Amino acid sequence: MSFPNVPLPRIPPISGILGSGIFGGNPELSMFREKIYFVYLLASKRNGTLYIGVTNNLARRIYEHKEKVVKGFTQRYNVSMLVYYEMHGNINEAIRREKQLKKWNRSWKLRLIEKYNPKWIDLYHEGEILPPLKEMA
């Protein structure tokens, strides 16, 4: 099977808003908090166990995975490295994308990660979400 030809949402550069608004506590940007949703992929290590989720607060959710706040799959298999994420404008769109990615075979998921994060860098660092290493075309 080949990689599906599905248009991917563009991830805007976020380096100017790290630690604020959707990623932290800046009240000036808090109006966006309810309008941006994230679909994300976690890994246990490079080419390791993968997990796909959706949230409206990526920094908080990744912190919960890393600190093993919620019992479940990610805690059991030590899956806490943020390797890919997308931003969406509404929850239905985000959930639809999450379900789509979950149906993909493993090789497609690995190719997606490799395309935008070829070094498998953990995009969560000290409470902040880092931008992908390669900007989406």
For 15-129, the fitting CATH number among 3.40.640.10, 3.30.565.10, 3.40.47.10, 3.40.1440.10 is: 3.40.1440.10
Q: Which of 2-16, 19-33, 117-131 reaches the highest mean pLDDT?
A: 117-131
User: What is the pTM for the complete model shown?
Assistant: 0.75
Extents of the domains making up the chain? 15-129
Q: How confident is the model at residue 1 (pLDDT cuts 50, 70, 90)?
A: very low
Sequence-distant (≥ 6) Cβ neighbours of residue 121 within 8 angstroms:
83, 130, 133
Residue 83: both structure tokens together: 């390797």
Q: What is the reported pLDDT for 108?
A: 98
Query: Residue 59's CB: how many other CB atoms inside 10 A?
Result: 20
